Amino acid sequence: MTAPGEDPPDDDTTTEGPETPSSPPPQAPAGIGGVLELLRPRASWGQLAGGLLCLVLGFAVVAQVQANKRDTTFATARQDELVGILSDLGQRSERLRGDLRDLEETKAGLERDAQGETALEEARKRATTYGLLAGTLPAEGPGVEVAIDDRRHGVRALHLLDALQELRDAGAEVVQINEVRAGVGTYFLDEQDGVQVDGRLLVAPYRFLAIGDPHTMATALNIPGGVVKTLQGAGAAVSITPRARIAVRAIRSP
């Protein structure tokens, strides 16, 4: 209440207590970096070690459970199931034994075939060697050609025999004289018009075809005082020609 003539008190005037300062509100991290910082896990080395230990223990437990399951499979099976399992195992074992026997028989057969093939090949080689030595097979190979031109008719059977022997001593495997195939029992006889070889009359010039090492045979024929010198002393002209391929076509009757 106010007295007449007095101004009413100012209603806007109020009494307030002392003001207390207030702390500023926390500020949230600015931007996406702040959000990631808040979401980043805070893990210590102890927590990592504990997690790893739990993982190992869990794996061990699972492995043990699986092992126990396998171990108790037959223990919990019924008798008829065990009988069936044993029967199945017996049948499998018998099949495996049969397969093993088949494989062993196959192996033995292959070994017999291999041995038989080897023996057959050896027999073929021996037959070829014997045929060449006996003169019943034609032959080809490196060698020498020896030509003896007897213009003075001084060459005798002994000269041709010496030439054949010298070629053989030098390693000649196959020898042909004119059209006669030389063999183990080849012989030479003097005739009025030439030299008889194994019953056939040969006339000059005489031509030897010998299969073997060309260098060795040529060297043996040309040694001082050897076959070439002897033939030249008898008035014959001798030529020796090494060849990479000599073909001996004449054969002897079996």
Statement: residue 223 has pLDDT above 80: yes
Q: H or E element: which one contains 217?
A: helix 214-221
User: Left, alpha or beta for 235 (phi > 0: left; psi -120 to 50: alpha)?
Assistant: left
Q: How far is CA 115 from CA 106, 119, 128, 237, in A?
A: 14, 6, 20, 54
Give dist(CA 111, CA 108) in Å, integer.
Answer: 5
Between CA 64 and CA 74, with CA 70 as vertex, the angle to 5 degrees is 140
pLDDT of residue 104: 81
Q: H or E element: which one contains 200?
A: strand 200-202
List 200's β-bridge partners, or say none: 197
pLDDT of residue 17: 45
Structure tokens at 56: 């190992």
Statement: residue 14 has pLDDT above 50: no
pLDDT of residue 118: 78
The whole-number average pLDDT for the span 213-235 is: 94
Give the three-class secondary structure for 233.
Answer: helix
The residue ranges of every structural domain in the chain are 68-134, 138-248
* Per-residue pLDDT tens over the stretch 102-157: 888 887 877 777 777 777 788 888 888 888 888 889 999 999 999 999 989 999 99
The whole-number average pLDDT for the span 86-92 is: 76
Per-residue burial over 145-168, b if 16 or more Cβ lie within 10 Å, else e, is ebebbbeeeebebebbebbbebbb
- Topology given in CATH for the domain delimited by 138-248: Alpha-Beta Plaits (3.30.70)
Its sign, for the CA torsion 120, 121, 126, 129, is positive
Looking from the CA of 242 toward its CB, the CA atoms found within 13 Å total: 12
Q: Which of 42-46, 62-66, 105-109 has the highest mean pLDDT?
A: 105-109
